[in-house]
Structure 1
Amino acid sequence: MKQTFFVLCLLSAAFTPVYVGVVFFGFTPEHRCFSPGVAELSQRCGWTLVEQLNHTVPEWDSHGAAYSSRCSRYEVDWNATGVSCTDPLGSLVGNRSSVPLGPCQDGWVYDYPGTSIVTEFNLVCEDSWKLDLFQSSVNVGFFIGSMIIGYIADRFGRKLCLLITVLINSVSGVLVAFAPSYTWTVIFRLIQGLVSKGGWLTGYVLTAEFVGLSFRRTVGIIYQLAFTVGLLILTAVAYVLPYWRWLQLAVTLPNFFFLLYHWCLPESPRWLITQKQNDKAMEVIKRIAKGNKKQLPSSFQNLKSEDENGEKLKPSYLDLVRTPQIRKHTFILMYSW
């Protein structure tokens, strides 16, 4: 039983990159407009980086502090002959205060040694909203997937649902790493959202159903602590791999090992009982008891195979509001979320 709980906690830790990975995948570094000819002029004049920024990047004043402009540049020809190294703008236009400003038509320069989806697809200035859309697509997937996959887990079993979500999550995660454009990145990220949160919740349900009522709170807390451990691991991996595509691959490929759960993870005996598969439920219970070196209580002997002819419980969304007690719990949880 401890082994089963441990492998499910690994699943919880692996969910972290999907949930909060945008912090690293979508990192927005300091940036400024790219101006053709500036690098060559800076090299000719022997400027330091600070001198180059002071001479070539517009600034505005905010509460007494100057900030270099990230979304506009001087509309001058830095390739012109006779540009002064001490006062380049003065030699080009005469009056520095009247230099026209324009948009970043030639892209941006990023002060960052690695890459992120922001630096690769230039999700800054007027396109900065696309970074929010990138994460919103995951959240939309969470919302839809949590409802659909919950039903699938009740209808076809926790184990099968878990394996399907792991497979889709792994494949879509690899596709994110190789996405040729921003649009495809968002699409594959949406697919990840559709299955990853539902898969995590399925693991949570399995964890709760494997133990008795007195242990559910404890295993639930530990399952979520595993998520926190995954956050620490993600931070360390992101520090080593500052390139978002390599980082995406590094945190996605281990998910394929979870497909081995087909052989080492049992189905929930509680679900099997609701489906009148009592013989299979008894096999799982006996295996758990043997692993825990415990004797089965006599009450389990009542699970006879002839009871399997009864009516199976069919899941329905109406079950969330069918009785007053369940209805109260449903509304409380919806409000809390």
Structure 2
Amino acid sequence: MTKENMEEGVNQKNVESTQMKEEKKIDEEDTKEAEKVNLTKVTTFEELLEVVGTRGKWNVLTFLMCILVAFTSPLQTLSYQFLGATPDHWCQVTPLLEANWTHQQILDLAIPFSNSTGRPENCYMRDYDYTAAAALGYQTTMKDPSAVLRNSSSLIQCSVREFNLSQYISTVVTEWDLVCERRVLYSTTQAVMQGGKLFGFVLFAYLVDALGRRPVVLVCSAISIIAGFLAAASPNIEFYIVLKFIIAAVDAGQYLGIFVFVMETCASKYRAGAGTLIVIPWAVGYMVVPGIAYVIRPWKLLQVAYTVPALYTIIYFWLLPESPRWLIDQGRYQEAFKVISWVAKVNRKPLPADQVVLAAMENIYHQKAQGKEADSATKTFTSRLLNLLKQLLSLLLISELRVRTIIVFFCWFSASMVYYGIALNATNLSTDPYLYIFLGGLLEVPSYLLLWPALIYIGRKKSLVALYLFCGLCIFSVMGLMLTYPGEAEVAKVFFSQIGKMAVTAAFQLAWMYTAELFPTKFRSLAVGQASFCARIGSTSSPYINDLLGPYTVWAPSALFGSVSLVSAALAVLLPETRHCDLPESNDFFTKTKEAGAEGREQGVVDQDEGVLNPSFVSEAGETGSQIHPRKSDTH
């Protein structure tokens, strides 16, 4: 061995020795720092979350991974106007087509002109003997149409239509003749999406609490992808509608599980930002919907294109953990410890000994378990069913939650009805659907971003009231323009409509976050799910209001949407403020607050303007929520 090689080996050993010493020093420092972490007095999950990090690498990456699921939802929910785009159509006159008459010749003889629409009639034709007309020829028949007239002045409704395929190559409307007497099926293709969400939010609200956030999200993601591709191969409208229902239901379960997971793994001081940013991908997907439809016109290829982005959710099978807050609430400390340890490792936060962390989790569980009644084992099917019904109705059975539950349910109902009613009202406004829906998606971004500072500096309640009020005034302005300038002032109508939609968009998103803050952990998923059920009742009615009521009285949908917005603004005044409060952990939160209110403000009275107090909230001075109350001048 040469001298140079010996010196090189010695230097290598010195480097390795130095590295080992540095690593040992870092480990010792981490151990000392971990020993300084005091978990013996931890009573809430928020306090434990502060220990493992609230804005570290894990928090940011997991948040970004989760919120991207919102991008895929509007691709299915808002696509029915493009999948079911309706070209100009008129009655199909088979004898004339077989005689090789041109479209224009058929229109001249068989189809009357509608003065109200300025176009040929869509669903009616003249009662002529078209077999005789075909035999006579176009020129002869047009010289004396009375020669083939069966009834002097009547029009007859046709059962088969002919479409102008130069406008749209293929849509679900042209595929299955969804016009005239079958038009209700076209509205049903959208209504069933909302009905599916309605069903999904009720079903998965229970399953998310019973089985956990992760398994529900994974199953829903897989079903959504499969059903999305199958919808493009639907052999008939009935099968298509069923698949659309399934897609909407599992999308609801997927979004509900992700939303609850994000809110439960987010510190209270960041919830306003998280609740706002989580829907930015929705706005992006909203804008992408008309762009994809403009490029891809055949509806089967368009349905495939709208489903492909959902393949992204496959990564959840490897990267999405279970909510540690839920695991602790279920008493599954070991599983929660694995997640918490992973979070701390990625965030480079030291943790005390395993036993200390597990003891802290057990302490959190027992704090939340105080006040819970022992649930006796039910052995019969009837008793199990009654117990399930009691759980589903628990929000209305608990007196402390009843009033706010009813108000929250109506606010969700109105927000969803108005949101989808405005978003899909391009036909009644006589405007370009591609531009109208793109503008709707574009304006969602500022509505979400402006909501963020409003929540911080104004609060939840005042923001919600103002948004509903402003939306109602804008929609009534649209109605006024329709009455004053029928068929005119298109730009003004679109302007007020989109500004009103900005307000209700922000109100809808605020309703999600506000509801999560108003209800304790035990009922949080149930509250959000049942509120979403009410929202889907509203959104299910929207396409029928626009497609069936609008053609008869063009301003009627605006009158209805504006009215429910104003009623929601009035009801929202009765809700408590939740700014600066941690997420409530148990129903005892409300009971203690109510009792404290009987003793006076010094003991923690509930003030509708200043907020509901959380006994688990700890101030910088060490005071608990029962000793202090949030001040209006405070910010996150």
Q: Shorter-normalised TM-score: what interval?
A: 0.7 to 0.9
**CA–CA distance in structure 2, aligned partners of residues 16 and 98 of structure 1:** 51
Partner of 2:75: 17
| Structure 2 equivalent of residue 150 of structure 1 | 205
**Structure 2 equivalent of residue 163 of structure 1:** 218
Report the Cα offset of residue 122 of structure 1: 0.2
CA change 1:333–1:301 in 2 (3 A) is farther
Gap change, CA 1:242 and 1:302, over 3 Å in 2: same
* 259, 274, 290: which one aligns with 1:219: 274
2:119 counterpart of 1:67: yes
Give the corresponding residue for 1:198.
253
Q: Is the contact made by 1:25 and 1:117 (CA closer than 8 Å) also made in structure 2?
A: yes
- The alpha carbon displacement at 1:196 in A equals 1.4
Moved more, 145-154 or 135-144: 135-144
User: How far apart, CA to CA, are the structure 2 residues paired with 1:76 and 1:90?
Assistant: 15
Structure 2 CA distance for aligned equivalents of residues 176 and 327 of structure 1: 41
Match of 1:132 among 176, 187, 204: 187
Q: TM (normalized to structure 1)?
A: 0.84
Contact 1:278-1:305 within 8 A present in 2 as well: no
How far the C-alpha of 1:120 sits from its partner, in A, is 0.6
1:122–1:306 CA distance, 2 compared to 1 (3 A): closer
CA–CA distance in structure 2, aligned partners of residues 244 and 117 of structure 1: 7
- Check 1:168–1:59 CA distance in 2 against 1; reply closer, same or farther (3 A cut): same
Q: Is the 8 A contact 1:152 1:161 kept in 2?
A: yes
Shift of residue 61 of structure 1? 2.7
Contact map agreement 2:200 2:250 (CA 8 A) in 1: yes
User: Residue in 1 aligned with 2:92?
Assistant: 34
Larger Rg: 2
Query: Cα gap change, 1:21/1:12 in structure 2, threshold over 3 Å: closer, same or farther?
Result: same
Select the residue among 228, 231, 250 that pairs with 1:173: 228
Aligned-partner SS, 1:154 = helix
Which of 274, 293, 308 matches 1:238? Answer: 293
Deviations 1:86-134 (A, max 9, x none): xx43334359994763333443223523222111100111111111222
Distance in 2 (alpha carbons) for counterparts of 1:293 and 1:331 = 44
* Counterpart residue number, 1:109: 163
Q: Which residue of 1 aligns with 2:592?
A: none
Q: Give the 3 Å change call, closer, same or farther, for CA 268–185 of structure 1 in structure 2.
A: same
Q: 1:9 to 1:297 in 2, by over 3 A?
A: farther
Greater RCO, CA 8 A, separation 6+: 1
Q: How far apart are 1:39 and its partner, in Å?
A: 8.7
The 2-side partners of 1:296 and 1:23 are apart by: 53
Counterpart secondary structure, 2:326: helix
- Counterpart of 1:333 in structure 2 is 408
Instruction: Check whether the contact 2:101–2:138 (CA below 8 A) recurs between aligned residues.
Output: no
**d(CA) in 2 for partners of 1:94, 1:222:** 69
Identity within the alignment, %: 26
CA distance in 2, matches of 1:292, 1:50: 71
Indicate the residue corresponding to 1:89 in structure 2: 142
**1:163 to partner: Cα distance:** 0.6
Contact map agreement 2:197 2:249 (CA 8 A) in 1: yes
| Number of residue-to-residue matches in the alignment | 326
Which deviates more from structure 2 when the two are superposed, residues 49-58 or residues 105-114? Answer: 49-58
Q: 1:269 to 1:319 in 2, by over 3 A?
A: farther
* Equivalent position to 2:111, from 43, 52, 57: 57
Bigger mean CA deviation after superposition, 156-165 or 30-39 = 30-39
- Asked if 1 retains the 8 angstrom alpha-carbon contact of 2:87 and 2:163, the reply is no
Q: Give distance in 2, aligned partners of 1:261 and 1:177.
A: 25
Give the deviation of 1:238 after TM superposition. 1.2
CA distance in 1, matches of 2:158, 2:348: 69
Deviation for aligned residue 1:82: 4.3
Residue type at the aligned position of 1:17? L
**1:328/1:34 Cα in 2 relative to 1: closer, same or farther (>3 Å)?**
same
Q: Which moved more, 1:242-251 or 1:51-60?
A: 51-60
TM-score, length-scaled by structure 2: 0.47
Q: Which amino acid aligns with 2:144?
A: S
Provide the secondary structure at the position in 1 that maps to 2:136. Answer: coil
The alpha-carbon deviation at position 41 of structure 1 amounts to: 5.6
Change (3 A) 1:66 1:54: farther
Q: Secondary structure at the match of 1:304?
A: helix
Query: For structure 1, which runs of at least 5 residues remain unmatched after alignment?
Result: 44-48
| Residue aligned with 2:119, SS | strand
The aligned counterpart of 1:46 is none
How big is each residue's C-alpha offset from its partner over 1:42-72, in whole Å with a ceiling of 9 and x where there is no partner? 55xxxxx76764455211333xx74311012
Output the CA distance in 1 between the equivalents of 2:156 and 2:397: 62
Counterpart secondary structure, 1:143: helix
CA shift, 1:273, in A, is 0.8
Structure 2 vs 1, CA of residues 296 and 52 (structure 1 numbering), >3 Å: closer, same or farther? farther
In the alignment, the residues of structure 2 paired with residue 89 and residue 306 of structure 1 have an alpha-carbon distance, to the nearest angstrom, of 88
Instruction: Give the match for residue 250 of structure 1.
Output: 305
Residue in structure 1 matched with residue 317 of structure 2 by the alignment: 262
